[in-house]
Every structure is written in structure tokens, then in C-alpha cells.
Amino acid sequence: MERRKWGGRRLVRRVSFLAAAFAVTAGLAVQGQLEAAACRRALSNSRLHAFAELSANLNQLNTDLQKGVYATTPSMLGALCTQIFGRAMSAQMALGELPYGNIELEQTAAFLAKTGDYAAALSRSAAVNGICSDAEREGLRSLADAAATLSGQVAALQSDLLSGAAALEDVDAAEARLSAREPAGQELAGSVYQTVESDFPALPALIYDGPFSDHIADRSSRMLAGLPEVTQEDARLAAAKFFNLEAALFSLVSAGEGTLPAYGFSAAVDGGELYVEVTRRGGLVLEAISSRSASAAVLTQEEAAALARDFLARRGYPDMRESYFIDQGGVVTINFAATQGDVICYPDLVKVSVALDTGRVVGFESRGYLMNHVVRDLPSPAVAAEEAQTIVSPDLTVLSHQLALIPTGGAYEVLCHEFKCEDADGHHVIVYVNAQNGQEEKLLLLLEDENGTLVL
């Protein structure tokens, strides 16, 4: 009898333990669901906050652009352009927090980048030339009109989001929709951003000194202009001759289009793959890169630079001057620029990579040279070097001087006095002073170590 009672107690205890375990498991599941729901709410609120920030910054951007149209003094225009730049950057940051915002709101992102860059260019122009020109003012007016339309569209979508009439996707939903294949004869449903992007206002064509200027997209190679088209076989022979190799080693792997259409060839060389691009117009080597890994170095960086300089001279690149280099895993890449008289022309850039174990050229890039090189009609400096040096900070010691042609943000060129300087801590600074108006044009900081120079 006692044994039967004891067995019953054990059964009750087991049932109690199981019940408790189920209760704990259920409690953890409920807690996990609550935490997941809280996390989803937080993410949803974060996305809504980012969209609200985008809307607010677009609204203020519209206001500042309208004010800029009516600014009549350089100080006011400069202040407003600074605000416009800041608003555009803040709006870009907010857009970047939305799932695939830069992809789905591509035109909006492009507008913000262009507007901010245009404002920065106008601010620089106002500081040097005074108030903006009629054309620049008209550019501001056109951007203000586009901003007003865009701001209204985003504000309307924000109202729908707050009322629940529309909802922002999470990352998983956006990825699933973007990766889905379009059914035959049907169009995939788009995101809520479609209402903004489908009715996007027409943007003005802006020509200014900045990387988003419309004139840059229309640029063509100055050096290749007028040269004949080459055949695929001629391009293959050019690639082989450039590296003193047999043409039979090279096989065609690509035929690219773009600003500099080129044939791409591949060859097995020295235990690696050598890829070479040759321009379809003119048959000149545009780029080359080898996958071969370098072993222990037997050459110094100075010896590699001398080999690279001789390599260029033998291939039709005379009067090139090296500037900076970087050593990456036993391969030294040296930057060269063309010279014209006593002026170094930095837009005409060529990069040559030399393996320190074999001394062979394993990399080459001439896009800057091919796009920009031409015999220029350079002006005589209106500002003497001695006068230009007075612009250099008294906290810097001038080590050397030369005349240099430098590119601007808008792919224009300006002749400058280049002063290489040193600060009190031994760090090097490059100061460029415009040789025509004496204005400080650009400052560069050099970070130097045994592996090369980084220019900031």
C-alpha cells in the first residue's frame, strides 16, 4: 500500500515538473514574441523617423533654395549655400536609412547629391568672384522649383504613412520584391516610393565646376579624338606588344562600351592572369592588371620607379614625372604626370605597377592621360611665385616650388603655384595658389610612411 502511494506521488511530481516546464517554455515563447514585436515596432518607428527627416530636410531645402535666388551679397549667398549643402547631406543620410532607399529613390538621391554639390560650387565661386552670375542664379531657381515639387510629393506620402494608408517595407520584404522575377506579361508591384519617382520633376541642366555638372557626362577623350577605330586583332597585337609577349597568349574576354570603349584580353603570364584593355579608338592600352602574387623583394622602390619611367618612355610617354607611390604586397604603384615645359600637368595621370621580385610591369592605368592629354596653350602666370608664397600659412615652411596644372572638381584645369611645405611636427602639406588671381586653390595633406604616400 505504501509502495502504491509512493508511486502515485512520483507520478504527480513528474506531471508537475512537466507542467512547470511547459509553462516556462510557453512563457519564454510569449516573451520572445513580445520582444520580436517590440523590435519590429522599433524598426518600423526608425524607418518612419528617417522618412520624416527626409521630408523635413526637403522642405527646408526648398526654402533655402528660394532664398538663394534672391541673395544679392556674397556673404548671404555663401551662408545660404552652406545651409543648402547641409540640408542636402542630411536628407541623403535620412534616405540611406530607408531599406534600399538609394536604389528605389534613385532620382531623389541623385537630385540631393547634385543640389548639394552645386551649392558648394556656388559658395566657392561667391568667395572668389562675388555674387553669382545670371546663369548660376537661374540654376538655383530651377533647383528650387524641382525641390518644391519633390517636397510636396514626399510630404503627401508621409501623410499616407502616418494615416496607415501606406506602409514602408522592411529589408526582407524589399529584398524579396526586388529579387522576384517578373511574370510573363505582368509588371511586378512596386514600393510606396513609386509615387515619388514616377512623377519626378524634370531637373535642369547645370554646367558648373563640380563632379555632377552635366558637361562631365558629355566629355570625350581629348587624346583619342580623331584617331581611327582598330580591329579586334589589331588591339590584341597592341596588348601583346605593350608587354613584349606573344599575341597567341591573348584571348578576347570583353568588348566594353562607355566613355572609352575598349577590348579586354586575358593571358596566362608568370603563373598568373594578365588582363589588358585596349581602346577601340587608337588601339592604346587603357588598363592592365596581373593576378600574380609577388614573392620576396629584390629591388628597391627607387629602382622600381626607374624601371617604370623607362617603360613609359619606350612606349610613347615622354617627359613624365613621378609624384607619389604606394607599396602593396611587394608591388609598387607609381603615379606619373605629363610635363609641358616647366609645368607638371596632373590631369594627365598614368599609374605603373612594378613587381619588386622580378622588376616586371604588372599593372598599368592611363585613363587620366587618355582623357586629358593634349598640348596646351598655357598662360603665363600673372602672379609671381614670391607673391603667391605670401598666401602660404606662416605655420608652414616652404620646401620646394613648381608650376602645376591641377584638375578642379568639375574636370576643368587651373594653373597654380605648387608649394610643398612642412609643419612644426614634420608633416608635409601641399599648397596650391592660383597663378592668375593669387587665390588659395587647394590644400593637400600627405600621410607618408615606408609603404608610400596617401594624399588627403
Q: What is the pLDDT of residues 238-263, one digit of tens each?
A: 999 999 999 999 999 998 788 899 99
Cα 404–chain centre separation: 25
Q: Report which of 383, 388, 455 is spatially closest to residue 419, judged by C-alpha positions.
A: 388
pLDDT value at position 126?
82
Task: Please tell me which residue, 395 or 99, carries the higher pLDDT value.
Answer: 395
Q: Report which of 283, 202, 197, 204 is spatially closest to residue 238, judged by C-alpha positions.
A: 283
Question: Mean pLDDT over residues 231-236, rounded?
Answer: 96
pLDDT digits (tens, 9 = 90+) for 20-78: 555 555 554 545 454 444 444 444 567 788 888 988 999 999 999 999 988 888 889 98
Which of 35-39, 398-402, 411-415 is least confident?
A: 35-39
- What is the C-alpha separation between 101 and 96, in angstroms, rounded? 6
Instruction: Answer yes or no: is pLDDT of 4 > 70.
Output: no
Q: Report which of 242, 243, 246, 278 is spatially closest to residue 260, judged by C-alpha positions.
A: 278
- Residue 7's pLDDT band (boundaries 50, 70, 90)? low
Which H or E run includes 405? strand 397-407
229 DSSP 8-state letter:
B
Instruction: Answer yes or no: is pLDDT of 136 > 80.
Output: yes
Which H or E run includes 237? helix 232-242
In this structure, the number of other CB atoms found within 10 A of the CB of residue 449 comes to 9
Instruction: Answer yes or no: is pLDDT of 277 > 50.
Output: yes
- What is the C-alpha separation between 84 and 72, in angstroms, rounded? 16
322 CB-side CA count, 13 A:
24
* 44 Rama class: left (phi>0) / alpha (psi -120 to 50) / beta: alpha
Percent of the chain with pLDDT over 70: 83
- What is the C-alpha separation between 37 and 451, in angstroms, rounded? 51
- Residue 213's pLDDT band (boundaries 50, 70, 90)? confident
- What is the C-alpha separation between 72 and 68, in angstroms, rounded? 9
- What is the C-alpha separation between 295 and 297, in angstroms, rounded? 6
Q: Which residue has the cell 628597391?
A: 300
pLDDT digits (tens, 9 = 90+) for 314-357: 999 989 999 889 998 899 999 999 999 999 999 999 999 999 99
Is 3.10.450 the CATH number for 385-455?
Answer: yes
pLDDT digits (tens, 9 = 90+) for 75-98: 899 899 999 999 999 999 988 887
Residues 6 or more apart in contact with residue 234 via CB below 8 angstroms: 283
Mean pLDDT of the chain: 84
- The grid coordinates listed for 134 are 545670371
- Residue 228's pLDDT band (boundaries 50, 70, 90)? very high
Contact 279, 339 (CB under 8 A): no
Instruction: Answer yes or no: is pLDDT of 190 > 70.
Output: no
Q: Report which of 245, 218, 236, 241 is spatially closest to residue 280, judged by C-alpha positions.
A: 236
- Domains of the chain, residue spans: 2-182+190-217, 232-372, 385-455
- What is the C-alpha separation between 317 and 283, in angstroms, rounded? 15
- What is the C-alpha separation between 272 and 289, in angstroms, rounded? 10
307 DSSP 8-state letter:
H
What phi and psi, each to the nearest 5 degrees, are found at residue 21? -65, -45
Percent of the chain with pLDDT over 90: 52
pLDDT value at position 52?
87
| Strand extents, DSSP E, 389-439 | 397-407, 413-422, 428-434
Instruction: Answer yes or no: is pLDDT of 372 > 70.
Output: yes
- What is the C-alpha separation between 31 and 39, in angstroms, rounded? 12
pLDDT value at position 101?
67
Contact 177, 191 (CB under 8 A): yes
- What is the C-alpha separation between 101 and 97, in angstroms, rounded? 7
pLDDT value at position 187?
40
pLDDT digits (tens, 9 = 90+) for 280-319: 999 999 999 999 989 999 999 999 999 999 999 999 998 9
Residues 6 or more apart in contact with residue 87 via CB below 8 angstroms: 57, 60, 61, 64
Q: Give me the residues paired with residue 177 across strands.
A: none
Instruction: Answer yes or no: is pLDDT of 224 > 50.
Output: yes
pTM for the full predicted model: 0.74
- The grid coordinates listed for 387 are 607673391
